[in-house]
Amino acid sequence: MEDILVPIFVCGFLFVAMPWLILHYVTQWKKAGGITREDEQLLDELHEMARRLDERMNSIERIVAADNPGIDLRRPAPDYLETKIRGDL
């Protein structure tokens, strides 16, 4: 009895359950598509806010470094700020 049931269950799993599972999640993935416009707008706002906060941190670090010449700032300035500062000089 066991010799007959195991191959039937294995074949049923391989040829029915696995393709159904794969096709189900492929269609779910295609329905989702990508991020919505609202999500994209939120990401853009968060990116802009992070960029402004980074600029503020760099300004504060420059002020602190100017007031205390012996201080060691371990956070390197981003490339776009270094080029902007060099261009101002």
* Cα distances (angstroms) measured from residue 76 to each of 4, 28, 38, 45, 57: 69, 44, 33, 24, 11
Q: Structure tokens of 39? A: 């999500």
- Exposure on the CB side of residue 8, measured as CA atoms within 13 A: 5
> Going residue by residue through the chain (89 aa), what tens digit of pLDDT does each one get?
778 888 888 888 889 999 999 999 999 888 887 888 899 999 999 999 999 999 999 899 888 888 887 777 666 656 655 555 554 44
State residue 24's pLDDT score.
93
pLDDT at 77: 58
| Residue 79 pLDDT | 61
Amino acid at 6: V
Asked whether the whole model's pTM tops 0.75, one would answer no
Q: How many CB atoms lie within 10 A of CB 87?
A: 7
